[in-house]
Amino acid sequence: MNRFDLPIHKNPLRTRGDVERALLQLLEPVRGRFTGGGAGLWLGGHAAHYGAGSARMEAFSRMLWGLAPLWAAGGGEEWLPLFRRGLANGTDPAHPAYWGRLSHYDQKVVETAAIAAALLLCGERMGFSPEEARNLHQWLAGADGLSLPQNNWLFFRVLIQAAFRRMGWAWNKGQLEEDLAKLDGWYLGEGWYCDGQPTQMDYYIPFGMHYYGLIYAWAMERDDPGRSRLFKERAARFAGDYLYWFEDGGRAVPFGRSLTYRFAQGAFFSALALAGVEAVPWGVMKSRVLGNLRDWLAQPIFDSGGLLTVGYAYPNLLMSENYNAPGSPYWALKAFACLALPEGHPFWAAEEAVPALEPLRAIPPARMLAARDESQVQLFPAGQRCANDMGHCGAKYEKLVYSSRFGFSVPRGESLEAGAFDCCLAVCEAGTERWRTQQGFEDFRLEAGRCWRRFSPLPGVEVEVTVVPNFPAHRREYTVTTDRPIDAADGGFAIPAEDGEGRACTPDMVEWGPCSVTARFPWGVSAIRCLSGMGEPVLVRAWPNTNVLHPLTCIPTIRLSLPPGTHRFTTLVTGAVPKA
């Protein structure tokens, strides 16, 4: 429950007018925060690795993800001169607010995407003078030839070149073709890309790779019909799998990095609508965008002034990445691409609808299984790994299961309580209490109704585990081989220790067995039982703010002492919430 009420909390988010009003409600708190020259926004004091100057420019540019579609439809007039001024001054080398030239691996290159998208959507409405247009063109062209991360960053230059072509400015066809060719090399088939890393399938596929491809397809359909058609076809195929990451009401599963972008989760469906791709019925598309917005905007994700905070379901720097500055969360405004569509468009005219989905679905390109019912979604990844650790990436990709209702936890230390080892196996040298979990994998398999992985959490310790979903439970079949005595802890779902009204759990809500522990709280059930008759049940009281959904959690856990040798044991883990 929010500590304070904001106007946006009363927005029903059912119509186009509601969605436009929600965008303006999100923008209103930034009005008085422009820096000198209007080319930046100061939204807070914590840092990202790229420093304060780029952070202020980032905050400014990310507002364009929402404003540009609104401007394209003729709305948002009061904001247009403010951002036109900032764009003019930020790209004028003679102005004190000049952003500086773009450089290799520069965060400002990320922010060029929003500017390019604004030019594609409504460049003619920006009203730049010839000199201002020349400065903006030259500044954006500074991205040509730069060394960039080999991932979705290449799409930023693609959008720049597409914007130049649409505006009638000089453009670099060679740079465009080079970047598009590299991006095409990351297409895996069946609608799935990877973001440069084939072991990393997260929200960057929908709100990065496909989103930019759909913007390109919308803008370049006449100039590049073949590639535009290809982007649309791939996005349409991807949509059928991506539906499985959402509950019927629109809530998505927290998984992977950049979760502070929150309702960017629904941006893919918004871009589908913009590009005119009816990959799923319009009502289903609408329910994913608006349902996700409704879920997010009811959560305590704002500060007292109405600014979006860094975190996930509540303000939480612990789960952030090293590139999350105060303005970073406004990447979420990508979800408002649908505002470029007029009131009479089929997207807005359709009644929201819930798709008919299978209770268990294998998604081989994403290396995961998806299980669901009307109350919860669970994702079971197998061969997932983030190659670059930017903040607790092991916890964000390598748990055994991820849930839309229980979330996942990231560590604050090495003890069971500080490590908050939910939905994974942790091990340590016997008696040391310095726990370690999976960091990378040696092999994996995704089979019908099960997934398997092998990894080594400590030198001399090898773990093989087969996970078999039986929703809302799943079975974990372990083989652990160790060359010395170790302790092991198999963690269940992290369940909130109190509900949204502040009512706390009590000892009588916990049920104990010889090899089992069940947290049966009024707001949910988390249980673990060792079917092999081994281990000691414990209820770990995790440190505060380790879970992405719930500030205080308990983790039902089975603790085992394993001598040298090979050990086989099986646990049954359940995570259930009341059905609406």
pLDDT digits (tens, 9 = 90+) for 509-535: 999 999 999 999 999 999 999 999 999
Tokens representing residue 364 in the block: 């081989």
Q: Quickly count helices (H) and strands (E) in the chain.
A: 16, 19
Phi, psi angles (nearest 5°) of residue 380: -120, 95
Let me know how long the chain is.
580
Cα 282 to Cα 16: distance, rounded to the nearest angstrom: 14
Number of Cβ atoms within 10 Å of the Cβ of 91: 24
Q: Which pLDDT does position 1 carry in this prediction?
A: 41
Phi, psi angles (nearest 5°) of residue 378: -125, 135
Q: Which pLDDT does position 5 carry in this prediction?
A: 82
Q: Which pLDDT does position 579 carry in this prediction?
A: 80
Tokens representing residue 239 in the block: 């949509």
Cα 16 to Cα 467: distance, rounded to the nearest angstrom: 43
Cα 517 to Cα 537: distance, rounded to the nearest angstrom: 6
Residues lower than pLDDT 70 in the chain: 1-4
Q: Which pLDDT does position 500 carry in this prediction?
A: 80
Element (H or E) spanning 489, and its range?
strand 486-491
Which amino acid, residue 401? Answer: V
Cα 467 to Cα 446: distance, rounded to the nearest angstrom: 10
99 near 51, Cβ under 8 Å? no
Cα 472 to Cα 493: distance, rounded to the nearest angstrom: 11
Spatial neighbors of 37 by CB under 8 A, at least 6 apart, are 85, 86, 89, 90, 95, 96, 97
